[in-house]
Structure 1
Amino acid sequence: MPGSPSESPGGARRTWSAVKAWIDPLVVMIVAVLVLGLVLPADGVAADVLGTVKTAAIVVLFFLYGARMATREVWDGLRAWKLQGSMLASTYLVFPLLGLAIQLLPDAVLADELKTGLLFLSVLPSTIQSSVVFTSIARGNVAGAICGATVSNVLGIVLTPLFVAVLLSRTGGPLGGSAAATLLQLLVPFVVGQAVQPWIGRWVRAHRPLTLVTDRAAILLVAYASVSEAQVSGAWDEITWVSLVVLLVVCAVLLAVMLATTWGVGGRIGLNRPDRIALLMCGSKKSLATGLPMASVLFSPVVAASVALPVIVFHQLQLATCAVLARRLASTEPDEVVARTA
């Protein structure tokens, strides 16, 4: 009907704002790059040059990760040991156990490369930006979320490659990266960044547009290179639309289990509502920004693109779901406060 709220300019703007809240622009750009890699893959000399540029971009990316993380803030936040401990347990204990359980699915249900990608997803650190944003929207403990996600990412520089080496060797997964590559491309740049953080950290944090461009450029380079190498080698020939639908369902179940677990455990261990929200938002997420570069270092080029696919799917799914949850938690909080004080 003309003049109805859904058709009014204000209603249209609200609808568009709601859509933009859970559509991550980075994921849209990654999808565009994936299509480009399928249509125009780099080969020969171009592929060699792309590989060199990609390696340099990963080194710069992890150097900036170290340079912009204030070490003092991380240690200050560790005082809330119950919240931080439950976040780390969710990220590096419960998630990997679920990732191992997924490996029991028959290959006829889910392709082996995608199961490997889901196991890799399960050992990634939590995402920082979206965890903090959704915690803030839901009126949770923002300081606790910042600390928990930051500590998760710091530890992930060491723990994720370690878990990949241990778990995938036991499940027969395809490893292509070496310890030297992991050390030189991930850990050393991060440590150097932390070493110079007292001198350049404030400047780096003050120039967020620069770091945002660097982050996204590195991730898009990795995404294009991975898909391009997989397309040239024929690594994706066996992945069908049915496999993608099954992957989406598995990711949805994995996310639902983690959301239910983090919220339920938060209540059982006596966390207050703001801390439970921080645990819910940080403990249920995985980092796309860290996952794609790590996949290109830890796996062979033929496998890296297939391994990265579950990370991309899960990332977009977690954004869409947590955007809805954050608004619902924010809208119900006043009623619960009134009930408690009545």
Structure 2
Amino acid sequence: MMLRRLSIFADPMILTLLVALSVAAVQPVAGHSAQMAREVSNIGIFVLFLLNGMRIPRREIARGLANWRYVLPLTVWVFGAMALLGLAFQWLAAGWLPPLVALGFLYLGVLPSTVQSATSYTTLAGGNIALAVIGAALLNIIGVMVSAPLFALLGGGAAAEIGHDVILRIGLILVLPFAIGQAVQGWTAEWINARKARIVWLDRFVIGLSVYVAASGAMAQGLIGMFAPTDWAVLLALVLALLAAASWGAWAIGAPLGLPRADRIAFLFGGSQKSIAIGAPLAAILFASDVAGFVIAPLLVYHLAQLVLAAPLATRLAEGPR
């Protein structure tokens, strides 16, 4: 069991990302086909957020808003401290990596937490599961509306100008379907619950397609040729340093907040893990296809690293004091 938890393929999302990147490297989509793939990806993103709206119970959102002692600091940490950390790491990376890849650290910093793995590792570590679910779900809802403007405010406008057309696309592709899902969930809850396994695979397919389209654009622009082995080493080192800073900070802040150990564990994973489920679709809307692949490069490495390293961390926390 422990070997499976520590395996790089223990989470199917890792395999999904690796397949998407491998196919993009061997057979990138380009030209008219790239535009068609982008449109298909946008349709998939709409469906994904529609299902998200159906899946997250309104009562959980209300409960999360009521628990301000946990949710408010977590929101400030994720969209404040982590955003500033991303900006700092962008500056650090600027002297070593291509500018758009360095910009990806800022993009990574403004994203919300990932719901699935943050909840899974909170469970494995013996943390407050309900709080983890509510907190991560709320952050994802907030992130749909906050991440893009925050990215532009902190310096991302050079790659993605957040004009009326971008705001309209975010509203139509992300916010509108989620709102529709929330409105109809009373009639669709039974249908959703009966098809949970299929919907999870649909999630992975849509995220994988978004990554494939973005990576294809980067491959067409010569991403592989721009990166020497030392560049990949620098990218990995910076990502691991950011993950370590995020994890340490999210754990440390729990003490002055007076959070119980179970809540601190939920805060740790909710505050340090980043969502490719929001990051990849949002990048498909914000950036041109020849830009998106570069910008999400740190996010892809971070996501893989957080899934692999969170397992032993969660196991160690589970063995600690209650």
For normalisation by structure 2, the TM-score amounts to 0.92
Paired residue type of 2:82 = F
Deviations 1:159-201 (A, max 9, x none): 112212322346x344487222222211222222222122213
Deviations 1:273-299 (A, max 9, x none): 111111111111111111111111111
**Of 23, 37, 42, which aligns to 1:50?**
37
The match for 2:122 is 135
8 Å CA contact 1:125–1:287 kept in 2: the answer is yes
8 Å CA contact 2:6–2:312 kept in 1: the answer is no
Q: Distance in 2 between matches of 1:106 and 1:225?
A: 25
8 Å CA contact 2:111–2:278 kept in 1: the answer is yes
- Name the CA shift for 1:74/1:36 in 2 (closer, same or farther; >3 Å): same
Q: Distance in 2 between matches of 1:37 and 1:107?
A: 26
Deviation of 1:231 (Å) = 2.4
- Name the CA shift for 1:277/1:106 in 2 (closer, same or farther; >3 Å): closer
Q: Distance in 2 between matches of 1:212 and 1:169?
A: 31
- Name the CA shift for 1:120/1:202 in 2 (closer, same or farther; >3 Å): farther
Structure 1 stretches lacking a partner, 5+ long: 1-13, 338-342
- Name the CA shift for 1:18/1:59 in 2 (closer, same or farther; >3 Å): closer
**Of 232, 241, 265, which aligns to 2:253?**
265
8 Å CA contact 1:235–1:303 kept in 2: the answer is no
The match for 1:300 is 288
- Name the CA shift for 1:136/1:40 in 2 (closer, same or farther; >3 Å): same
The match for 1:153 is 140
Alignment of 1:310 onto 2:290: no
Deviations 1:187-216 (A, max 9, x none): 222222222122213421442112112111
Q: Distance in 1 between matches of 2:295 and 2:231?
A: 13
Q: Distance in 2 between matches of 1:268 and 1:128?
A: 25
- Name the CA shift for 1:258/1:169 in 2 (closer, same or farther; >3 Å): closer
Which segment drifts farther, 217-226 or 196-205? 196-205
8 Å CA contact 2:90–2:104 kept in 1: the answer is no
SS at match of 2:226: coil
Paired residue type of 1:232 = A
SS at match of 1:278: helix
Structure 2 stretches lacking a partner, 5+ long: none
Q: Distance in 1 between matches of 2:243 and 2:108?
A: 12
Which segment drifts farther, 298-307 or 195-204? 195-204
Deviation of 1:302 (Å) = 0.8
Paired residue type of 2:189 = G
SS at match of 1:78: helix
Computing the radius of gyration from Cα coordinates, the structure with the larger value is 1
8 Å CA contact 1:136–1:142 kept in 2: the answer is yes
Alignment of 1:253 onto 2:241: yes
Identity of aligned residues (%): 34
8 Å CA contact 1:139–1:274 kept in 2: the answer is yes
8 Å CA contact 1:182–1:297 kept in 2: the answer is yes
Q: Over aligned residue pairs, what C-alpha RMSD do you find?
A: 2.0
User: How many aligned residue pairs are there?
Assistant: 320
Deviations 1:67-86 (A, max 9, x none): 21111111113332211122
Alignment of 1:210 onto 2:173: no
Deviation of 1:51 (Å) = 2.3
SS at match of 2:91: coil
**Of 63, 81, 88, which aligns to 1:76?**
63
Alignment of 1:93 onto 2:86: no
For normalisation by structure 1, the TM-score amounts to 0.87
Deviations 1:97-135 (A, max 9, x none): 111112322633232112211111111110111111111
- Name the CA shift for 1:263/1:22 in 2 (closer, same or farther; >3 Å): farther
Q: Distance in 2 between matches of 1:264 and 1:108?
A: 30
8 Å CA contact 2:119–2:129 kept in 1: the answer is yes
Q: Distance in 2 between matches of 1:298 and 1:47?
A: 16
Alignment of 1:290 onto 2:278: yes
Q: Distance in 1 between matches of 2:10 and 2:301?
A: 12
Listed as ranges, the matches of 1:169-184 within 5 Å are: 169=156, 172-175=158-161, 178-184=166-172
Alignment of 1:243 onto 2:240: no
The match for 1:228 is 216
8 Å CA contact 2:283–2:296 kept in 1: the answer is yes
Paired residue type of 1:253 = A
SS at match of 2:104: helix
Q: Which stretches of structure 1, 4 residues or longer, exceed 4 Å deviation after superposition?
A: 174-177
The match for 1:24 is 11
Deviation of 1:21 (Å) = 7.2
Paired residue type of 1:164 = F
